[in-house]
């Protein structure tokens, strides 16, 4: 499975799921010809789309995406807090930008606390981030949060308007706006949508995390459908922390107050249209074909027919005598196999990518809780795997991993 939380360029919003989610969350069922805007802001990516109902089908008529999400919000807040509170404990903030293993774990722990504080500010105006290891209490207000992320939120709504313009949907004709993704619950995002679009956003209900096996693909909050055609090589996004580490070195030097991260990845426009409903057929042909094995050239199909009789140089046998008949032994193709990649030390998102890149069917993951004072592992770091690295198993098998966490186990779901 692939989650948008660690977004890949091939992921697209499922128009049928979006329309159903809108109706389930209190919006009306789309009338024929009606258009719905979708605003999905997740952990690491943003997607905007316009879904139109054509007959009995739902068509994705325009889309935009941006590598921005809750993780970057947290990185911006960390940069801001480091400048504001540096004088309180310079040694602690020096560790936050350190390159050692313990420094990385400390930074991850603080980012996890910042993420929790950001979520709390969706329901309150003030919160405090406690850092026992440094005896620090970092206050944070909703106003401070919004001042750090306002530019990114405005940019995300710009993309919604761009998608609407491409689809030829005027704001006054919009049937509704569906909001999904954990970071979209930020009050500033909802307020910005209300101020710029003439309809009140409808927030999608978070569904059961168990995936519907009939769905093309899914995340915990909004199902996605992969692009049709051959899968492109997965591109790993640069995590905001890599940018943040470099930024905080500068923050430490100048003790800047209210620092911001640098440039963001340019928005990309989606191409093509995805259709769900009776008018949209399956992506594959209706003919019944035998599946090819990965990496196969099709030669096995040519050799699987009835074997040609061999030419014998011996004299023909007496035709009056019956020859014993021998049946050719059925030939079977062995299941394709591959070596299991090394996953211990990766994040759960990176483990899913590595397993998918190796060709295996998926990952089964389970969490192992640890105290926030236990700095032996990062949150969401894989600490065990089965099968072992290098073991050759069938590609149809799943790889089981155990990850470490100190906050919420669901934060590590992919």
Measured between alpha carbons, how far is residue 27 from residues 50, 100, 285, 321, 348 in Å?
15, 50, 35, 82, 35
The answer to whether residues 371 and 269 belong to one domain is no
The answer to whether residues 62 and 157 belong to one domain is yes
Residue 361 lies in a domain: yes
CA angle, 271 then 205 then 216, to 5°: 40
The pLDDT of residue 54 is 95
The answer to whether residues 271 and 354 belong to one domain is no
- Return the sign of the alpha-carbon dihedral for residues 340, 342, 343, 346: negative
The answer to whether residues 219 and 362 belong to one domain is no
Residue 155 lies in a domain: yes
Q: What is the CATH number of the domain that holds 182?
A: 3.30.420.40
The answer to whether residues 362 and 269 belong to one domain is no
Whole-number Å distance between alpha carbons of 76 and 111: 10
The pLDDT of residue 299 is 41
Residue 8 lies in a domain: yes
Q: What is the number of domains present in the chain? A: 2
The answer to whether residues 371 and 271 belong to one domain is no
The answer to whether residues 223 and 154 belong to one domain is yes
The answer to whether residues 189 and 267 belong to one domain is yes
Residue 343 lies in a domain: yes
Residue 55 lies in a domain: yes
Enclosing domain of residue 361: 337-412
Which pLDDT tens digits describe the chain residue by residue (414 residues)?
333 333 334 468 899 999 999 998 888 899 999 999 999 999 889 999 999 999 999 999 999 999 999 999 999 999 999 999 999 899 999 999 898 999 999 999 999 999 999 999 999 999 999 988 888 899 999 999 999 999 999 999 999 999 999 999 999 999 999 999 889 989 999 999 999 999 999 998 764 332 233 333 333 334 444 434 333 333 333 344 444 444 454 444 444 444 343 344 444 444 445 555 544 444 343 433 434 444 444 443 444 444 444 444 444 445 444 454 445 445 555 678 989 999 999 888 888 888 988 889 899 999 998 775 566 788 888 999 999 998 999 989 999 999 988 777 777 877
Residue 112 lies in a domain: no
Task: Please answer whether residues 70 and 41 qualify as being in contact, where contact means their C-beta atoms are separated by less than 8 angstroms.
Answer: yes
The pLDDT of residue 310 is 44
Inter-helix orientation angle 70-85/142-167, to 10°: 150
The pLDDT of residue 273 is 54
Find all residues with CB under 8 Å of 58, minimum gap 6, and list them: 15, 16, 18, 19, 30, 51, 52, 275, 276, 277
The answer to whether residues 189 and 272 belong to one domain is yes
Q: What is the CATH number of the domain that holds 357?
A: 3.30.10.20
The answer to whether residues 189 and 269 belong to one domain is yes
Residue 401 lies in a domain: yes
| Count of CB atoms situated within 10 Å of the CB of 204 | 25
The pLDDT of residue 1 is 31
- Return the sign of the alpha-carbon dihedral for residues 399, 400, 401, 405: positive
The answer to whether residues 381 and 271 belong to one domain is no
Secondary-structure breakdown of the chain: helix, strand, coil percentages, each rounded to the nearest 5 = 35, 20, 45
The answer to whether residues 63 and 151 belong to one domain is yes
CA dihedral 389, 239, 116, 183 (to 10 degrees): -110
The pLDDT of residue 274 is 52
Residue 191 lies in a domain: yes
CA angle, 145 then 147 then 151, to 5°: 115
């Amino acid at each position: 499975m692939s989650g948008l939380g660690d977004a890949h360029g091939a992921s697209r919003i499922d128009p049928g799921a979006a329309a159903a989610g809108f109706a389930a969350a209190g919006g009306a069922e789309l009338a024929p010809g009606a258009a719905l805007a979708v605003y999905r802001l997740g952990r690491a990516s943003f997607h905007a789309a316009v879904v139109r109902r054509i007959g009995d089908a739902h068509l994705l008529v325009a889309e935009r995406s941006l590598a921005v999400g809750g993780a970057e919000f947290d990185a911006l807040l960390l940069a801001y807090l480091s400048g504001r509170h540096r004088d309180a404990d310079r040694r602690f903030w020096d560790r936050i930008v350190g390159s050692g293993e313990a420094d990385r774990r400390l930074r991850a722990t603080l980012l996890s606390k910042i993420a929790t504080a950001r979520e709390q500010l969706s329901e309150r105006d003030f919160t405090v981030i406690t850092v026992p290891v440094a005896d620090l209490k970092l206050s944070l207000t909703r106003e401070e949060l919004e001042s750090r992320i306002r530019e990114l939120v405005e940019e995300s709504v710009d993309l919604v308007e761009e998608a609407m313009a491409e689809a030829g949907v005027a704001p006054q004709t919009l049937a509704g706006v569906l909001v999904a993704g954990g970071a979209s619950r930020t009050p500033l995002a909802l307020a910005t949508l209300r101020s710029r679009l003439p309809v009140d956003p409808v927030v999608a209900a978070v569904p059961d995390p168990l995936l519907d096996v009939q769905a093309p693909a899914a995340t915990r909050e909004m199902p996605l459908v992969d692009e049709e055609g051959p899968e492109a090589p997965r591109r790993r996004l640069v995590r905001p922390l890599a940018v943040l580490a470099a930024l905080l070195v500068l923050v430490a030097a100048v003790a800047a107050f209210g620092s911001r991260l640098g440039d963001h990845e340019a928005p990309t426009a989606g191409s093509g249209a995805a259709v769900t409903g009776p008018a949209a057929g399956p992506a594959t042909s209706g003919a019944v074909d035998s599946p090819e094995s990965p990496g196969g050239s099709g030669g096995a199909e040519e050799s699987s027919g009835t074997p040609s009789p061999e030419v014998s140089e011996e004299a023909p046998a007496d035709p009056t005598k019956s020859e014993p008949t021998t049946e050719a032994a059925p030939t079977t193709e062995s299941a394709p196999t591959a070596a299991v990649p090394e996953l211990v030390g990766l994040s759960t998102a990176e483990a899913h990518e590595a397993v998918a890149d190796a060709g295996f069917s998926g990952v089964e993951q389970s969490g192992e809780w640890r105290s926030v004072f236990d700095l032996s592992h990062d949150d969401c770091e894989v600490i065990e795997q089965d099968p072992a690295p290098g073991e050759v198993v069938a590609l149809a098998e799943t790889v089981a991993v155990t990850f470490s966490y100190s906050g919420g186990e669901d934060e590590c779901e992919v």
